[in-house]
């Protein structure tokens, strides 16, 4: 019945093949079946199919054999082990074939167009079934993830009809799934919004790449990402993710404002440093006034600066940066014969007088130079003696800034002191001490701003509140223990207070997540060092602090981030901040774990001294805790 080709196939192919005659007596049983059923061909051959498997007549498989004897072919997609080969793989027991998944073909054997028997081909599809089950589990996990996401997620087919939306989408749209699935946006959205959605859908399909847009609704800002998705049958649909980025936008705006504020105060500090040098060194009042105007315009970037020194309302000395000689002469005449009201108000009180030139200064010869700015005026005095008026103009953005007001008053005070010192020829040492106090107050203002920003960062993550202050305290004490300079110690302290500044751009739900972060989330968190550096790098006064913030997660062996710096490539200040950060973090509670304890933290840095952490820094830190009983409290 079997020719040579059939015999070769039966013996060598990786399928199960057996044949019967027209009476369903088995006359062929290949090696695959011998290996996988444990039944040798000499046992099987000659037996009737129903004798070998008595239950065959009572199941649907019997109909396939009846059809085969009638010349038909059947493809069986069921698990044939329950019917054709009810035994297990070789080596298993009880003739119960439970692990192998099978499908097969039952066909007739013909000779001269006459049915002379049947042939059954059985294929092992175990791996495919296992893979399908695994895929189903993965799909279920992804489905749960999509449903649990607070982001709005959807999927559309090639006709832009919705085939999947998550709960967040339904909540956002205020509709049931039946109102959306199978429909286009035009069927349930306002036409204008549907047009926008459809246009970005088509653009993503046309470009075959991600399309990013933003929409504002109800005072909230939404980031919309759309991207092509491969669908069955070689078709492409559109996947989409809508995320509420209002808080991120607000954080970025606040961050920008904070950066501008830092830069603004840095300019003031630079001007004050130059100003302090001037008033210490200068012994001529007219030169002092002239150079003071020059410094405040060139270093501070005030738009206009005017200093008038008066005696009985007569101008005895004046200077300005920007105004020309004719304008100044006109102003002196104007002041002598008709003192402006704003000047009178400034001379009578100690407060800063703010005026809008376009409204309050009609007739002033300097008005043409004033554009979209306001003026601040304050009297120059020292020890109850009034010398004159300091007048500056600057952008309306900073005119009501409390730090700006205090700094402006400090300039006037310092100028009054300088004039007084020149007139009285007082001891220069005393002058230096008072100016030093002025400088320290200015540094205090900068420090206060840093404290405010530090608190604003930590307020987004209540689980780590106070972390930056504690790290700053330990880092400063380590720097002192190591004998660093006063400037280095102060830089370490300030860097500690704002070392996590960059986290302000990271979503709060990631910062306070009680679970282990995903790789994507952790990579986002790792960007905070670079984010903080980018905020601070353009502020002259904080360039060193910016670099310390940038490096505080670097390790000696290069395993740190974000740049993988090694050894001496890392600043000593950053090495100190790294150790302080590690110790405080391990000793404190976190959303995803309880405190590991200070002993555990100290053991960590001790075991990795010279590997991850600088040995001198570790030695100083251990000494503080074990010998000097340092405490974060």
- 131 — pLDDT class (breaks 50, 70, 90): low
Give the Cα separation of 275 and 436 in Å (integer): 12
pLDDT at 364: 67
pLDDT tens per residue, range 202-257: 998 889 898 888 888 778 888 889 999 888 777 889 988 888 888 888 888 888 77
pLDDT at 372: 59
What CATH number does the domain located at 251-441 have?
Answer: 3.30.450.40
What CATH number does the domain located at 149-244 have?
Answer: 3.30.450.20
Residue position matching structure tokens 């015999």? 7
C-alpha angle with apex 450: 448 to 451, nearest 5 degrees?
65
C-alpha angle with apex 200: 196 to 203, nearest 5 degrees?
140
Q: SS3 for 316?
A: strand
Q: Is 553 within 8 Å of 561 (Cβ atoms)?
A: yes
Whether residue 102 has pLDDT greater than 70: no
What CATH number does the domain located at 4-128 have?
Answer: 3.30.450.20
Residue position matching structure tokens 């204008």? 192
> Pick the residue with more confidence: 364 or 151?
151
Q: Report residue 133 as tokens.
A: 């089950």
> Pick the residue with more confidence: 608 or 143?
608
> Pick the residue with more confidence: 557 or 315?
557
- For 623, the enclosing helix (H) or strand (E) is helix 615-626
Give the Cα separation of 156 and 237 in Å (integer): 5
pLDDT at 1: 47
Q: Name the nearest CA neighbour of 548 among 571, 531, 526.
A: 571
Q: What is the pTM of this model?
A: 0.36
Return the percent helix, strand and coil in the chain, to nearest 5.
Answer: 55, 20, 25
- 472 — pLDDT class (breaks 50, 70, 90): very high
- Give the mean model confidence (pLDDT) for residues 182-206: 88
pLDDT at 425: 67
- 380 — pLDDT class (breaks 50, 70, 90): confident
Whether residue 462 has pLDDT greater than 60: no
Whether residue 525 has pLDDT greater than 80: no
Q: Name the nearest CA neighbour of 453 among 389, 496, 424, 391.
A: 496
Residue position matching structure tokens 């820094």? 617
State phi, psi for 447 to the nearest 5 degrees.
Answer: -60, -40
pLDDT at 88: 30
pLDDT tens per residue, range 545-560: 999 999 999 999 999 9
Residue position matching structure tokens 């049931």? 176
Q: Report residue 549 as tokens.
A: 């913030």
Give the Cα separation of 320 and 297 in Å (integer): 10
Give the Cα separation of 246 and 108 in Å (integer): 70
pLDDT at 302: 73
Q: What is the mean pLDDT of the chain?
A: 79
- 89 — pLDDT class (breaks 50, 70, 90): very low
- CATH class of the structural domain 459-626: mainly alpha
Alpha carbon distance, N-terminus to C-terminus of the chain: 95
DSSP at 425:
T
Helix axes 528-536, 543-551, angle to 10 degrees: 170
Q: Is 390 within 8 Å of 409 (Cβ atoms)?
A: no
Give the Cα separation of 230 and 524 in Å (integer): 28
Which range of 60-74, 295-309, 372-386, 469-483 scores highest in mean pLDDT? It is 469-483
Give the Cα separation of 167 and 182 in Å (integer): 16
pLDDT at 363: 60
The residues spanned by each domain of the chain are 4-128, 149-244, 251-441, 459-626
> Pick the residue with more confidence: 487 or 64?
487
Cα separation values, 443 from 99, 222, 447, 450, 494, Å:
76, 40, 6, 10, 11
Whether residue 355 has pLDDT greater than 60: yes
DSSP at 518:
P
> Pick the residue with more confidence: 568 or 75?
568
Sign of CA dihedral 31, 35, 40, 46: negative
Q: Name the nearest CA neighbour of 620 among 478, 460, 455.
A: 478
Sign of CA dihedral 74, 77, 78, 82: positive
Sheet holding 26-29, edge to edge: 26-29, 16-21, 114-124, 102-111, 74-76
Q: Are both 4-128 and 459-626 of the same fold?
A: no
Instruction: Name residue 216's beta-bridge partners.
Output: 221
């Amino acid at each position: 019945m079997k020719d040579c080709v059939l015999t070769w196939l039966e013996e060598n192919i990786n399928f199960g093949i057996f044949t019967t005659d027209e009476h369903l007596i088995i006359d062929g049983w290949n090696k695959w079946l011998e290996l996988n059923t444990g039944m040798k061909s000499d046992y099987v051959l000659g037996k009737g199919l129903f004798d070998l498997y008595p239950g065959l007549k009572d199941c649907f498989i019997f109909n396939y054999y009846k059809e085969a004897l009638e010349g038909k072919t059947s493809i069986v997609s069921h698990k044939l082990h329950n019917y054709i080969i009810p035994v297990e793989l070789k080596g298993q027991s009880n003739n119960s074939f439970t692990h192998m998944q099978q499908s097969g073909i039952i066909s007739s054997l013909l000779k001269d167009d006459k049915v002379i028997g049947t042939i059954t081909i059985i294929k092992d599809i175990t791996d495919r079934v296992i893979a399908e089950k695994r895929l189903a589990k993965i799909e279920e996990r992804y489905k749960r993830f999509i449903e649990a996401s607070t982001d709005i997620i959807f999927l559309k087919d090639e006709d832009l009809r919705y085939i999947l939306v998550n709960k967040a989408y339904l909540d956002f749209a205020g509709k049931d799934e039946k109102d959306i699935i199978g429909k286009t946006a035009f069927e349930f959205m306002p036409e204008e919004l549907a047009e926008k959605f459809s246009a970005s859908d088509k653009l993503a399909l046309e470009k075959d790449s991600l399309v990013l847009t933003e929409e504002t609704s109800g005072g909230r800002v939404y980031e919309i990402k759309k991207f092509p998705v491969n669908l069955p049958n070689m078709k492409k649909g559109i996947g989409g993710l809508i995320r509420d980025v209002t808080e991120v936008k607000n954080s970025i705006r606040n961050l920008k404002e904070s950066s501008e504020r830092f830069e603004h105060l840095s300019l003031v500090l630079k001007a004050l440093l130059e100003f302090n040098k001037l008033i210490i060194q200068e012994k001529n009042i007219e030169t002092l006034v002239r150079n003071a105007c020059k410094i405040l315009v060139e270093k501070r970037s005030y738009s206009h600066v005017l200093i008038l020194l008066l005696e009985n309302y007569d101008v005895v000395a004046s200077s300005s940066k920007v105004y020309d000689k004719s304008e100044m002469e006109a102003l002196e005449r104007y002041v002598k014969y008709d003192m402006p009201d704003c000047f009178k108000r400034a001379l009578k009180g100690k407060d800063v007088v703010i005026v809008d030139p376009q409204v309050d200064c009609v007739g002033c010869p300097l008005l043409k130079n004033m554009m979209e700015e306001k003026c601040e005026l304050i009297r120059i005095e020292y020890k109850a003696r009034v010398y004159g008026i300091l007048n500056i103009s600057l952008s309306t953005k900073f005119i009501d800034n409390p730090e700006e007001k205090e700094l402006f008053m400090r300039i006037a005070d310092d100028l009054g002191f300088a004039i007084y010192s020149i007139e009285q020829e007082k001891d220069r040492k005393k002058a230096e001490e008072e100016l030093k106090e002025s400088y320290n107050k200015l540094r205090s203002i900068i420090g206060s701003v840093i404290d405010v920003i530090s608190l604003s960062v930590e307020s987004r993550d209540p689980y780590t509140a106070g972390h930056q202050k504690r790290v700053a305290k330990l880092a400063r004490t380590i720097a002192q223990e190591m004998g660093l300079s006063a400037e280095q110690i102060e830089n370490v302290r300030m860097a500690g207070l704002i070392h996590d500044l960059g986290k302000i751009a990271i979503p709060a739900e990631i910062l306070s997540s009680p679970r282990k972060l995903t790789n994507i989330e952790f990579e986002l968190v790792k960007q905070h060092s670079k984010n903080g550096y980018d905020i601070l790098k353009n502020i002259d006064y904080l360039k060193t602090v910016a670099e310390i913030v940038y490096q505080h997660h670097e390790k000696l062996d290069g395993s740190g981030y974000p740049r993988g710096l090694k050894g001496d490539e890392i600043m000593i200040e950053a090495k100190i901040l790294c150790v302080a950060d590690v110790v405080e973090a391990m000793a404190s509670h976190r959303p995803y774990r309880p405190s590991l304890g200070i002993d555990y933290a100290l053991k960590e840095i001790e075991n990795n001294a010279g590997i991850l952490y600088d040995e001198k820094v570790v030695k100083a830190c251990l000494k503080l805790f074990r010998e000097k009983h340092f405490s974060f409290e």
